[in-house]
Structure 1
Amino acid sequence: MKKLCTFPLVVLSSVVFSQYSISEIPQDGYLKDFDITVDIIQKQHPNPYRFHSKEIIAKKIDSLRNIVKKDPGYISLLMNNPTKIIGDGHSSFSADSNYFENILSSLYFFPLQTYVQNGQLFVNGSNPYAIEVGSEIIEINNTSSSALLKAVPKAADGNIKVEDVDMSFYIPFVLKNQTNDFTLKYKTLKGEQKTAKVKGIKYPRYYYESRHSVLPVDLISESYGIYGYSIDSETYYLSVKSFSYDESFLYERLKKFFQEMKDLKAKKLIIDIRNNSGGAISNVPLLYSFIAKDKTFNNEYQYGTKVVDINYKDYLVDPQTSRYYSDKDIADQNNFMRQRFDKAEKGDYYFGNSRLDNTYIKSYPRDGIFFDGKIILLINNRTFSAATYFASLFKSEKRGEIIGKETGSCSNFTTAAWFLTYRLPNTKSVISIPRTEIFFNSNDKENVAKCTGVIPDHTVSTSFFLQSLKEQKDPELEYSLTLFSK
C-alpha cells in the first residue's frame, strides 16, 4: 500500500538507446522547469519549511536560479535543482534517461575509483598510473577534494553531512570537464606529495572500473538483498540491504538465517544495514523481533502532513507507466488521503488515523527463535528512511554497539510513504515529492526541528581504514571483529 524509500538527487540511469536529443530543449526551458519545480515544492511538499524559514529558502532558491539563468543547460539544472535546499532526502530531481544518455556520452570520467572516509578522498582501486590504493587525493584540476565533496549532490535530511557519494562519477559534472585530461595532486601512503596527469575515460569504461574497486567488499548482499553466513565458530554476519519486501518473504528469509545461528550456537552477531535505503516501515519491527531483549518492545510511529490534497495537478504522472493522471486518478488519491488523515485539534497537521495502517503493532512481540547474544550494527550515510528507524530502535533499546557513519535521514522522523511524481514539460526531468512525514517513538510532531541521523558509537579511524583498504578488507566489519575480541 505504501512505501518508504529514497532516491538520489540525480538518478544514475542505465544507458538506453536515445530517442531524442538534448539539443531539442529550448534555452529558456531549463529555467521554466526550475520555476515549475519550485511551485510544486511550495504547494505539494508535506512541510517544505521544516529546516529553513520561507525567507532563507527564498534566498537559496534565488541563488540557484541565478546559476541556472547564467548557465542554462541540463547539467546546470541537475546540479542546482530546487530540491537540494529544502533538507529532504526523499525529494528527488531525476534526469530523463534518454537525455541523460546524451550527457553521459559527452563526458570524460575520472579514471580512478575513489572512496571518502573522514572527509578525505582516497584512491579505491588499481589503475595504470601506478598510484597506490589508499593514496589521498588532495586536488583535481586545481579544485580541492573538500570543494568537490561539497559540490556533489547528496541525499540527506536536514543538514546531515554526507560523504558516502560516488565521487568519481560526479567529478566531471562538478568540474564541467569537456577534455580527457585530469591533473591531480595526491599524497602517497608514505606521505610524499606528488602530481599526476591522467586520461579521462568514457562511461562504459567508467562503469567497468566501478565494479572493480576495493570497496564495498560486500557485493553479494547487494544482489541478494538479505544474506547471512558464519564468520567463525561464534560470529554470524547478517546483511539486510532493503526493507522493500513482502512481509511473508522477509520473515521466511530471516527465519532461515536466525535458525542457522541457533543451530550453530552463535554468540555474536553483526547486522549490516549500510546502503539500506529503506522500504516498508512495518518490516522494521519484524527484523527487530528476532533480536529483542524482552518479550515485547515499543514500536511507535505516526504519519503526519500539512498537505492532504493534490494541489499541483499539472504534469502529474504514474511513475510505473509515465501515463499522465486523469481527473479521476487525482480524485481517487485525494479521497484515499482524506479518509486516512484527520486534522489535529491544534496546529496545521493532519495525522494518520486507525484506518491508515492495519499492519501497525505498537507493542510488538519477540519472535520465537530470537537471538540473545552480543550484537553490533553497521550503518552509514546511505542507511536511510525505514533503515534509519531500525537503527534508531536498536539504539533506543540499547541492544548493542553501532559502528560506521551517521545515517542519512533523521533519527526521530523522516519524510516518505506515498509519492507524487511529476514529469516536467521542457526537460522531461522527473521530480518526486513525498506526501507525508513519519515520526518515530513519540516525538513532538509539531515542533520537531532538530535533525541528526543515528550517530554511531564507533567510527573507523583513518589509519584503520587505510590498513583494511590495503588488505582489501571491509573496514567496519574488521573493526567489529576487533571490538568483539575485547
Structure 2
Amino acid sequence: MKNKLLLLALFLGFHCISQELYKDTLLKQDFDILTKITCEVSPNINSEEKKALYDYLNKRSEALNGKKMTALDFFKFLMGTKAETKLDDHGEIILSGALLKTLLTDQKTLFPIPILIMNKKLVVNYEEAEIPFGSIISAINKVPVSVILENVLKEENTYALKELEQNFDGFYLIKYGALKTFTVTYTLPNSSTTKTIKLNAVGVKARKSIYINRVYPLNRKQPKNIVNTTYFKNSDLYYIQLNSFFWNEPVKNVYRAFNKQFSNIFKKIRKRKAKHLIIDLRNNRGGDILIPALFYSYIAKEAFNENISVQIPDFEFPHKDLIVKIENTPVDQESIQKFINQIKKPFVKNKDAYEYAYVNNVKRVKNKKSYKGKVYLLVGGRTFSAAAYYTALFKNSKRGLIVGEQVGGSHHEITGGKIIEYTLPNTKIGIKIPIALMKFSQALETNVPEQKINPTIQITEAAKYQYFLKKEDWDLQTVLEIINQKK
C-alpha cells in the first residue's frame, strides 16, 4: 500500500512561517538527510524495500533542481511525496518549534469555523458562527469538499480524518494559501435548503477563542486525565474512560502505578455490583505496551498467552547530531549515546536486524476479582498503537460488543517503541520517526485478521448526525439504549 512519506502534523498555536527562500542546494541537503533517516531508521523494510525507497526518494530529490522554496513550500513538496516506508502514524513531519517565528497577530488568514468530519462531510461545530450549528458545508471557494479532502488527505483512514478535524484551517492554509475571505456553500440542518455566504478569515487569537468554544468533542477537559469514571445508576452501568497507557508523571514503576489505579477502579465497580461496564478508548493513542494485557486481565474470563517481539534495524542512527528529542524529551549527544547503549543490551543480531523477545509466550492470568458482567468497548480513529492492541485482545476473546468506528491503528505490526525527533538543518522542519517494529502472537493475527479492527456496532451517519444536533455522545447513547432495551 502506498502511503505518505510520514504523517504530516501541524500545530496551530500558531506562528507565521518564515518566508525566507531556500535555494535548491539547501533544499536538497534537507531532503537527502530526510531520505537517509527514513531509509535507515524505518524498522519495517527489508533490504530490497530499502533499495527501492532510496531509488524513489533520490529520484524525487531531482525535482528540487533549480527551485527556490520557503519552508512552507518545502513542506508542501513533502506532502506530495509518496513512498513505501511501511511506517504507521507514529511517524510525523512537523511544522513547529524554530520554524514558527513571528506571531500572526495582525494576519487574518485562517478558516473561521471549527468543523467536525462525519463520513467525509464537513459539519459546522460551533454555535456562534455565521453559519448555523450543524450545517453541512458542501464547498469552499467553489471547490467541493470532496476535492478539498482529497487534496489535504493523502490517506483515507479514521486516524487521518480525526487529525485533520483538529487542524483543518491550518492544512487548508498550507494547501490553498493565505486568503482573506472564504465563500462557503452549505446546507441548513435537516434541510435541503442550500445557501452561500462570504466569511472573513480570522487570526490566531480569534481562532483560539473560537476553538475553545467548539461543541464537540464533548467534555474536552476529560481527555487531559489518564482515566475518568462515572456510574450510571439508571442503567446499572460503570463507565471507564482510559485516555492513555502512558503514566502522566514520573514514577519508579509504571506497571505498578497502573495496576494500583486499575485495582482501585474495579474495587469500586464490585462495590456497586454494576451489571454493565463501558470501556472507552476513543482518545487513547497508546503508551506502554505491557499495560493493555494488565488492563485486560481485570475483565478477562480466562487466562491468555501474550507474545511481544521487537525488531530494530540498527542502533547506528544516521545524523545523530540532528536528533533533538527522544520520546519528547530534549537530548544532547551524550544522552543519545547513553540511550542507545541502554536499549541495545537485550537485543540479539539476526541477519539484517536486531531482535528481542520482549514478552515470550507469557501466560497472563485473569485477575482474581476479574469483572464478570457485560462489557462494551468504545473505539474510534484515535484508538491507536497499544490501544489497538488492547482492542485485538478484547475481540480475540469475544469479551463483548465493540462500538464506534474503525480503530486508527493496527495490531498486526506497530512501528513504535521509542520515537526519535530530528530537526532538518536548513528549513528547520521536524521529523519524528519510530525506531522499532513490534509484533504480537501469530494466534492473535490469525484470530483477528483484519489490519484495523471494525466495530461490532457502527452507528449510521444519519443517527450520528441527529445525536450531533442534540449535542449527545452517539456511541455512549447507543450503548445506553441497548442496555435499556434489554431491561
Task: Map 1:346-385 to 2 at 5 A.
Answer: 348-353=352-357, 362-385=362-385
Contact 1:186–1:195 (8 Å) recurs in 2 = yes
Cα distance 1:285–1:62, how it changes in 2: closer, same or farther (>3 A)?
Answer: same
What is the identity, as a one-letter code, of the residue corresponding to 1:119? K
For residues 44 and 267 of structure 1, what CA distance do their matches in structure 2 show? 48
For residues 204 and 307 of structure 2, what CA distance do their matches in structure 1 show? 45
Contact 1:268–1:375 (8 Å) recurs in 2 = yes
RMSD: 3.4
Contact 1:33–1:425 (8 Å) recurs in 2 = yes
For residues 367 and 65 of structure 1, what CA distance do their matches in structure 2 show? 58
1:289 to 279, 285, 297: 297
Q: Does 1:235 align with 2:237?
A: yes
Cα distance 1:428–1:322, how it changes in 2: closer, same or farther (>3 A)?
Answer: farther
Q: Deviations over 1:396-455 (max 9, x none)?
A: 11111111222222121211112332221112222122111111222799xxxx972121
Identify the residue that residue 201 of structure 1 maps to in structure 2: 202
Identify the residue that residue 324 of structure 2 maps to in structure 1: 317
1:166 to 164, 167, 174: 164
- 1:181 to partner: Cα distance: 0.5
Task: Map 1:200-219 to 2 at 5 A.
Answer: 200-219=201-220
Aligned length: 462
What is the identity, as a one-letter code, of the residue corresponding to 1:341? F
- 1:153 to partner: Cα distance: 5.7
Question: Which segment drifts farther, 160-169 or 457-466?
Answer: 160-169
- 1:462 to partner: Cα distance: 1.3
Q: Deviations over 1:94-149 (max 9, x none)?
A: 223243254855552211111111222211121341x2322211111222222222
What secondary structure, in the 3-state scheme, does the structure 2 residue paired with 1:9 have?
strand
Cα distance 1:128–1:305, how it changes in 2: closer, same or farther (>3 A)?
Answer: closer
Higher strand share: 2
What is the identity, as a one-letter code, of the residue corresponding to 1:477? L
What is the identity, as a one-letter code, of the residue corresponding to 1:34? F
2:22 to 18, 23, 26: 26
- 1:368 to partner: Cα distance: 3.0
Q: Deviations over 1:148-189 (max 9, x none)?
A: 223336899xx7774213343335334433222011111222
For residues 370 and 410 of structure 1, what CA distance do their matches in structure 2 show? 27
- 1:373 to partner: Cα distance: 1.1
What secondary structure, in the 3-state scheme, does the structure 2 residue paired with 1:169 have?
helix
Task: Map 1:99-110 to 2 at 5 A.
Answer: 99-102=99-102, 106=107, 108-110=109-111
Q: Does 1:270 align with 2:269?
A: no
Identify the residue that residue 187 of structure 1 maps to in structure 2: 187
What secondary structure, in the 3-state scheme, does the structure 2 residue paired with 1:201 have?
coil
For residues 471 and 455 of structure 2, what CA distance do their matches in structure 1 show? 23
Question: Which segment drifts farther, 317-326 or 422-431?
Answer: 317-326
Unmatched runs of 5 consecutive residues or more in structure 2: 1-5, 248-253
Q: Does 1:38 align with 2:45?
A: no
For residues 170 and 49 of structure 1, what CA distance do their matches in structure 2 show? 36
What is the identity, as a one-letter code, of the residue corresponding to 2:30? D
Contact 2:375–2:400 (8 Å) recurs in 1 = yes
Cα distance 1:213–1:465, how it changes in 2: closer, same or farther (>3 A)?
Answer: same
Cα distance 1:428–1:177, how it changes in 2: closer, same or farther (>3 A)?
Answer: closer
What is the identity, as a one-letter code, of the residue corresponding to 2:258? L
Identify the residue that residue 250 of structure 2 maps to in structure 1: none
For residues 230 and 26 of structure 1, what CA distance do their matches in structure 2 show? 58
Task: Map 1:438-457 to 2 at 5 A.
Answer: 438-442=438-442, 452-457=451-456
Identify the residue that residue 432 of structure 1 maps to in structure 2: 432
Cα distance 1:127–1:431, how it changes in 2: closer, same or farther (>3 A)?
Answer: same
Q: Deviations over 1:309-361 (max 9, x none)?
A: 324434123446644425xx5554444454322234xx6443204xx57xx77
**Could you tell me the percent identity over the aligned residues?**
25
Identify the residue that residue 301 of structure 1 maps to in structure 2: 308
